[in-house]
Structure 1
Amino acid sequence: MITLLRHIHRTYSIVVILAFSALFYPFYYLASRKPAGYRLLNLMRKLNSFLISTFIGVFYLFEYEEPLVKGQTYIYCSNHFSNFDIMIMCILAKGRFHFMGKEELLDNPVLKLFFKTIDVPVNRDSKISAFRAFKKVGDNLENGMSLIIFPEGRIDGHQYPPQLLPFKNGPFRLAIEKNIPIIPVSLTNVWKKMWDDGHKKGTSPGFCNIYVHKPVSTRDLNIDDADLLKDRIFDLINSKLVHK
């Protein structure tokens, strides 16, 4: 019975997501036409994420180790187990922000409006693409636009319960080069509501816990410390995850 209800909820969730995506698409399109509208793009996807979550009955409880500084540029690093994760990070991020994500997202009719404007796509199999992507992200950071990135690089939809995958080096080298503090974010039990392989497990309403760790400074680090920084962020995120 529980399994049936979860599958019904999954179908309902997909309908809600598609309905709000269609509703917001014309506004996304108009805002994406000129750079002056880019700030509005972020505001609208925050609103869209909040409305979708509310209508499908998923609510987020944010716990902050310490308050985030208004106007500060951050690199937000989070685990990535669920299709809810992007919406959560849109709601969490402060001020101007953008994502870095896989190039395949350009195939999504809605997401490509963002990845052709404020977000940065990357082909991780191409060194040239990665170099250009991190160059653009670095420029955005210098211009005061925070970055949201999932350093695992992908969701492992096969392992259940999900486990944190090894992190890529790029975000941590960039944080050191640009002297940007990192915000580790543990999406602790979100996968219990919507695991990536939802057609097997279904979805369910309820409360999701998000632990926002205090900023990790990169001020006194050099590029040789990138691996140590990566391991530190990995351990912080993993320390709050629910694996059962």
Structure 2
Amino acid sequence: MMKLLKYPFIILWRIWFYVLMFCTIIVLSPVFLVLTSSDRYYHQLFWVVRNIWANAILYGMGFIPDIKRDQQMEKGKSYVLIANHTSMTDIMLMLRASPNAFVFVGKQELAKIPIFGFFYKRACILVDRNNVKSRTAVYERAKKRLDNGLSICIFPEGGVPDEKIRLDEFKDGAFRLAIAYQIPIVPMTFADNKKRFSYTFLSGSPGVMRARVHPFIETRGLTTDDRAALKAQSRAVIYRQLRDYGKDGKPTENRKTW
């Protein structure tokens, strides 16, 4: 009975997420139009998206970011940012977790979302994972961004895995890129996003969203032959933290689904 009583509130809260996301984009759209008109404005765009849009979504939904950093990013230095991918809120939490401006490498399908997709394709690097030519083109577009002092963010699971999977296998893209340009990997673990706002509609709740920024993994001197080892090392760091979060008395989700 209690579950039935809470469902109307969850439905309204879920709807509020989409209302909040699209209303903030509409309000900020004049600013976004100007700042996405040229790459030279990207740092200003990132500031607005990180400090206004992401905060409005997270705090407007009752999510409180709690970010622990084992290492600080150097201002003006480029990195490849990676994290486990469990929720639409991963985008907002990643924005809060990185003080350095970065560009998302994301799936092309998101460009079809009304309003959001218009600015998404102007600001991000889009990839069709089923198209070899599209995947290859990512490297050229990423190089341009890296040359401008930006970082790159890729969710290496290649999509949001089944909710029963703690951490899916990683795709190669992030690690090929990091090795090709000899820049550090920044692994991050998002502990609570799946519990707070999963893709199961009648689920979730406001609360703390923990993120851990792990020590960076250097790629200087590595070659393509080291790609598999680098991928395995990066995944192990995130996996261990997810496992430890589940043991601390504050499980990130129903333990039976892990």
How high is the TM-score relative to the length of structure 1? 0.91
Equivalent position of 2:183 in the other structure? 180
Q: Specify the alignment match of 2:250 in structure 1.
A: none
Structural RMSD (CA)? 1.7
Runs of 4+ in 1 over 4 A off after TM superposition: none
- Once residues 152 and 160 of structure 1 are traced to their aligned partners in structure 2, the CA distance between those partners, rounded to angstroms, is 13
- C-alpha distance 34-221 of structure 1, shift in aligned 2 (>3 A): closer
Structure 2: distance between partners of 1:24 and 1:144: 25
CA contact (8 A) 2:97 2:213 kept: no
More contact order relative to length (CA 8 Å, sep ≥ 6): 1
Is 1:105–1:112's contact at 8 Å kept on the other side of the alignment? no
Aligned to 2:118: 112
Task: Kindly state the Cα deviation for residue 234 of structure 1 after the two structures are TM-superposed.
Answer: 0.7
Q: Do structure 1's residue 31 and structure 2's residue 35 form an aligned pair?
A: yes
* Structure 1 position 27, deviation (Å): 1.6
Distance 1:207 1:175 in 2: 31
The aligned counterpart of 1:92 is 97
Structure 1 match to 2:47: 43
Q: Tell me what 2:237 maps to.
A: 236
The answer for the alignment partner of 1:19 in structure 2 is 23
2:73/2:100 contact within 8 Å kept:
no
Structure 2: which 5+ residue stretches go unaligned? 247-252
- Counterpart residue type for residue 16 of structure 2: Y
SS in 1 for 2:210: strand
Partner of 1:165 in structure 2?
A: 168
Q: 2: CA distance between counterparts of 1:184 and 1:190?
A: 16
Q: Give, in whole Å, the separation in 1 of the partners of 2:177 and 2:163.
A: 32
AA in 2 matched with 1:112: F
What's the TM-score, normalizing by structure 2? 0.86
SS in 2 for 1:220: coil
Contact 1:32-1:114 within 8 A present in 2 as well: no
- Cα deviation per residue 1:77-105 (whole Å; 9 max; x = unaligned)? 01110110001111222233101011112
Task: Tell me how far apart the structure 2 counterparts of residues 148 and 133 of structure 1 sit (CA, whole Å).
Answer: 12
Q: Structure 1: which amino acid aligns with 2:15?
A: T
- TM-fit CA distance, 1:138: 2.5
Residue-by-residue CA offset, 1:58-87 (whole Å, 9 max, x unaligned):
011001112222222111001110110001
- Give the drift of 1:196: 2.2
The Cα of 1:228 is off from its aligned counterpart by 0.5
Distance in 2, matches of 1:140 and 1:35, equals: 9
Instruction: Report the identity percentage.
Output: 27
Count of aligned residue pairs for this structure pair:
239
> Shift of the alpha carbon at 1:145?
1.0
Whether 1:62 and 2:63 are equivalent positions in the alignment is: no
Unaligned runs of 5+ in 1: none
What residue in structure 1 maps to residue 249 of structure 2? none
Bigger mean CA offset, 221-230 vs 69-78: 69-78
Does the 8 Å contact 2:101/2:151 carry over to 1? yes
Note if 1:191 corresponds to 2:194: yes
